[in-house]
Amino acid sequence: MQFTRTKANAARMEHIGYGIGLMAAALTSLSYIPQVRKAYPKGATSDLSVKTLAALGAGLALWIVCGMIRSDTVVIVANMLGLGLVAVLLVFKIRDIRRA
């Protein structure tokens, strides 16, 4: 099968790439939800590392900046969602540290 590069094919591939990006962003961002649900009860964050969550949060924040520089809405929104969920996990972890 030979792929002929035309404007129509390029536009189609751009749309397919955008759709794949949206699906990947949704899956990776929403993957934090089970962890948030598990951490919600008081005292349920003993398995979470503050350093790991902080590093993950910093990485997600840098992806947001990268998305802004590149004007990539999918990268911005996905990482903002992920950062929000990681922030919730950090809040739960700090809550549990203070109660211990």
Task: Tell me the pLDDT tens digit for each residue of 10-22.
Answer: 888 888 988 998 8
Neighbour tally for 75: CB within 10 Å: 19
Phi, psi of 40 (to 5 degrees): -60, -45
pTM listed for this prediction: 0.82
pLDDT at 3 over 80: no
pLDDT at 1 over 70: no
Would you kindly state where each structural domain of the chain is located, as residue ranges? 7-99
CA 79 from centroid of its chain's CA atoms? 4
CA distance 3 to 37: 46
**How confident is the model at residue 9, as a pLDDT?**
83
Neighbour tally for 52: CB within 10 Å: 11
> Is domain 7-99 in CATH 1.20.1280.290, yes or no?
yes
